Structure 1
Amino acid sequence: MMRFPTALCNGLAMTCLLASLCAAQSPTTPAVTKAPLHTLPAQRTEIVGYFPQWGIYNRRYIAVDLIHSGAVRSLTQLDYSQANISNNACALADSKADTEMVFKAEDSIDGVADQPDAPLRGNFHQLQLLKARYPKLRILISIEGRPDLFAEAAKPENRAAFVHSCIARFLEGHIASGVEAPHLFDGIDVDWEYPDADHADDFYALMAEFRRQMDAIRLKSTALRAGTSQRGFTLSIASGAAQKHITPIDWKRVAANVDQIGVMAYDYYGPWARDTGFHAPLASANPKAETVTTTINAYLAAGAPAKQLLLGVPFYAYQWHNVAQGGSYGLNSKGDPVRGNLNQSTAVTLMQNPGAHLYRDPLSHAPWIYDGDNFLTFEDAVSLQAKTAFARENNLGGIMVWELSGDTNDAQLLHALSKDTPTNKVSSEH
């Protein structure tokens, strides 16, 4: 899963951009066959969004933005990213962001400034306020650490104590010395990237231990809310898109203990490559290419129950420059990767360049922008609704977003995912 902060774009600018994107078409674009999106009956699915801990800095993204943008109306679950592993125990990744930052009144969900001496401040207090206002929204803590830290913590001699530390800190609410927040989190998301064949047995045992201890603490909990899983607390994992991350694992064994398998179906292409491509294509004309479709089919073939799979979508973008046009308007062409925190605001900027046009692949519905020099792969409402349709056709549990700060100020991408019926028309770009 990506580990970087992303900045919000101006909501008004993005609204204007989307209007222009729908109308944009290169006069030299060749005719192509348009593949229609599928129209499906209205059906509510899980919409899970990762909330960036680091958004607290430089006022990039904070909890009240979920309300101001309307994002909270589309979400069924919020995964707070992130907690860490230290000395085979769950630990706060950034105590300043989590519990110590003093929020001003205008930045606080209740409009009241934090008291500097209050035991609990920071993001966690804002999540408390968010939960009080939206009690049906589940909030999970995402444990993210290096694979070697997970491997060590999952060893038989460390496993039970590690899981207990996570449950005590986050589910029982013993956040830190003098800081108590019981019932703040409704479950735990485990982001081990990635267990291999050598660590598979410890991975299964770790999930089973989480399930055992979470079920035990459930019996003592007096605050289970409607909407949590039937097991009480939600246990989810983040899992990889590549075949090498799927084949070593028995997904039936994993599914026996977890509620959600969030498939990170992105990063098929990125700035590590010297040629351009789609970072999260739904499909491809190349039968050897890995895509969202091949990834999900591989999980289903490996025994993962469809209803436990969440289809991951990226709210970030990747860019190359010095890209020669060739015959594909910058697609599958050599270029120099652009490093940085790119998202919808990057699309706004590029579309203002002379010669910039929006193009769309008719098979995957993936958009790209090319101005004769710069190439950008990103998601928009059309591509996201195509993925929502795919998820529903395959009876998947829902959609997972990495991560929420990459959306517009009015949450246009998230709202596109939560629409009951996707558009049945592909806009006229190539």
Structure 2
Amino acid sequence: MVSRAKRLLSCLALITCAAQAQQPHPLLTGYFPQWGLYNDPQYTVKNLAENAGLLDQINYAQGFVTGGHCSVADPNADTNYAFTAAQSVDGVADSPTQPLRGSFNQMIKLKRRHPHLKLVLSLEGKAADFAFDAQPENRAAFVASCVHLWIKGTITPEISIGTLFDGIDIDWEFPHPEDAANYIELLKEFRRQMDAVRPGMLLNVAVGPSPRMMGGADMAIVASLVDQMGLMTYDFTGPWVQHTGFVSALSGEVGSGTVTHTVSAYRAAGVPAAKLLVGVPFYGYGWRLVPEDNNGLFQEGEPIHGDRPYREIETKIPTSRVYRDPNSQAPWLFDGDVFWTYEDPISVSAKARYAAEQSLGGLMIWELGEDNATATLLTTAHKALHEEPTPITNKQAQ
């Protein structure tokens, strides 16, 4: 006779398998920086290609919203730059006479290698431009320009990128209360026109760390129109304030905000968990002249201008000490004078496990070019999202 424990174990295993079949691993998405071409060191599509297999989706940053229509943000980087053989994804140099060069051509080569990798155009611009474009008299023509450019792939009469992009990510930071209705209508128009060209295209939005930042728009309606909602769960603190803190704490009462508070707020506003992507910064902020009290945490300091990529911050670890918040697993560096808040493999793993445990849509990285040369943070995120649940033992079943 089969024991009760074995029957229970069998049932639990079947339930687990069924749940895994219905709920795939959370997505790992990341923004590719168009401006990486000009960084030192460069970050190009070839650099991305070395670890593209870890990603489910790439958000190409960026396309512009200007003058009532969509436009290429940087023609040199996107379509004109002639990559050498050493810089090219497939080792073949661009010819200066070929119509399409630049990062878009490299992305086409990348997608040939990874046909299941989704590529989404991140549409960015000033809030005032989005507000103008979303007005009823401007909306349809504006969206038509975006669809013509990014979905139909007609860059110029001579240059086509074909079906390179699988969707559009709208980054309107942020609608005002008078924009709320137009924001929703703009999403409806995008959905209508995109579906008319290619049904199944991704329509995503990037949103602030609180629903209140979205101008009072009904987030449940927004969620019904979009496939993904990228939570900008970073910049909870930074050099715009005169005291130290965490750039992107996962949880706990740690000051200006946490990931868990953001997720709870959007779920309470009617957004399904499966559409929420937790934003993970691959950068950090610093302050100098910080007192030694509390190892520099939540102390007054002189802000260091600008953000710093993880690859730079990790080089400071040997001359500093790493501290960690026990609730959020957020790290900070402090050498008795200079304080840095950032993400590291431990905090990234914690966010990935949280996303999986809460059945969220996954993680959204800003941005991929800020990782180190061995892609430590990206690799960590991928591994943590794909960790299998701990097997149920006979003892646990009993």
Shared fold (TM-score, shorter chain, > 0.5): yes
Q: How far, CA to CA, are the matches of 1:299 and 1:237 in structure 2?
A: 13
What's the offset of the Cα at 1:177? Answer: 3.4
Q: Which amino acid aligns with 2:258?
A: T
Match of 1:377 among 333, 338, 341: 341
Between 1:120-129 and 1:43-52, the stretch displaced more is: 43-52
Q: How far, CA to CA, are the matches of 1:96 and 1:123 in structure 2?
A: 9
Report the counterpart of residue 304 of structure 1 in structure 2.
271
Report the counterpart of residue 62 of structure 1 in structure 2.
44
Q: Which amino acid aligns with 2:372?
A: T
Q: How far, CA to CA, are the matches of 2:63 and 2:373 in structure 1?
A: 26
2:387 matched to 1:421? yes
Q: Which amino acid aligns with 1:388?
A: A
Q: Which amino acid aligns with 2:47?
A: D
User: SS at 2:32's partner residue?
Assistant: strand
8 Å Cα contact 2:236/2:256 also seen in 1: no
What's the offset of the Cα at 1:407? Answer: 0.7
What's the offset of the Cα at 1:423? Answer: 11
Q: How far, CA to CA, are the matches of 1:44 and 1:278 in structure 2?
A: 28
Report the counterpart of residue 284 of structure 1 in structure 2.
252
Q: Which amino acid aligns with 1:50?
A: Y
What's the offset of the Cα at 1:44? Answer: 1.6
User: SS at 2:181's partner residue?
Assistant: helix
Q: How far, CA to CA, are the matches of 1:65 and 1:322 in structure 2?
A: 37
Q: How far, CA to CA, are the matches of 2:334 and 2:82 in structure 1?
A: 43
2:360 matched to 1:396? yes
What's the offset of the Cα at 1:398? Answer: 0.8
2:323 matched to 1:343? no
Deviation per CA, 1:334-358: give whole Å up to 9, x if none. Answer: 11111134022332332232xx110
CA distance change for structure 1 residues 242 and 256 in 2, over 3 Å: closer, same or farther? Answer: closer
Match runs of 1:105-124 below 5 Å: 105-124=85-104
Match of 2:131 among 151, 176, 182: 151
Q: Which amino acid aligns with 2:338?
A: N
Q: How far, CA to CA, are the matches of 2:149 and 2:272 in structure 1?
A: 30
What's the offset of the Cα at 1:305? Answer: 1.0
Q: How far, CA to CA, are the matches of 1:339 and 1:141 in structure 2?
A: 29
> So what's the TM-score if we normalise by structure 1?
0.82
Q: Which amino acid aligns with 2:296?
A: G
Deviation per CA, 1:135-173: give whole Å up to 9, x if none. Answer: 010101111000000000000011011111001111101
2:366 matched to 1:366? no
Between 1:243-252 and 1:358-367, the stretch displaced more is: 243-252
8 Å Cα contact 2:285/2:304 also seen in 1: yes
Report the counterpart of residue 238 of structure 2 in structure 1.
270
Match runs of 1:87-166 below 5 Å: 87-166=67-146
Q: How far, CA to CA, are the matches of 1:156 and 1:195 in structure 2?
A: 15
Report the counterpart of residue 428 of structure 1 in structure 2.
none
Larger proportion of helix: 2
Uncovered stretches (5+) of structure 2, i.e. residues with no partner: 1-19, 391-398
Match runs of 1:42-57 below 5 Å: 44-57=25-38
User: SS at 1:212's partner residue?
Assistant: helix
Equivalent pairs, count: 367
Question: Taking CA–CA contacts closer than 8 Å with sequence separation of 6 or more, which of the two structures ends up with the larger relative contact order?
Answer: 1
User: SS at 1:180's partner residue?
Assistant: coil
- Give the % identical residues: 44
Deviation per CA, 1:283-337: give whole Å up to 9, x if none. Answer: 1235x752111111000000011111111110011011111111x1010011111
> So what's the TM-score if we normalise by structure 2?
0.89
User: SS at 2:332's partner residue?
Assistant: strand
Q: How far, CA to CA, are the matches of 1:298 and 1:289 in structure 2?
A: 14
What's the offset of the Cα at 1:259? Answer: 0.5
Q: Which amino acid aligns with 1:347?
A: I
Larger radius of gyration: 2
What's the offset of the Cα at 1:381? Answer: 1.0
Report the counterpart of residue 352 of structure 1 in structure 2.
318
Deviation per CA, 1:102-129: give whole Å up to 9, x if none. Answer: 0000000010110001100000000000
Q: Which amino acid aligns with 1:396?
A: L
Q: How far, CA to CA, are the matches of 1:382 and 1:349 in structure 2?
A: 17
Deviation per CA, 1:402-428: give whole Å up to 9, x if none. Answer: 00011111111011111122999xxxx
Match runs of 1:227-266 below 5 Å: 231-242=199-210, 244-246=212-214, 248-266=216-234
Report the counterpart of residue 16 of structure 2 in structure 1.
none
What's the offset of the Cα at 1:239? Answer: 0.3
Report the counterpart of residue 375 of structure 2 in structure 1.
411
Match runs of 1:161-200 below 5 Å: 161-200=141-180
What's the offset of the Cα at 1:247? Answer: 7.0
Deviation per CA, 1:168-196: give whole Å up to 9, x if none. Answer: 11110101231111111110010000112
Q: How far, CA to CA, are the matches of 1:331 and 1:423 in structure 2?
A: 35
Q: Which runs of 4+ in 1 moved over 3 A?
A: none
8 Å Cα contact 1:350/1:371 also seen in 2: no
CA distance change for structure 1 residues 277 and 423 in 2, over 3 Å: closer, same or farther? Answer: farther
What's the offset of the Cα at 1:243? Answer: 5.1
Deviation per CA, 1:231-282: give whole Å up to 9, x if none. Answer: 5110001000035315712111101211010000011100001000001011
Deviation per CA, 1:371-401: give whole Å up to 9, x if none. Answer: 0011010101111111111112221111100
User: SS at 1:175's partner residue?
Assistant: coil
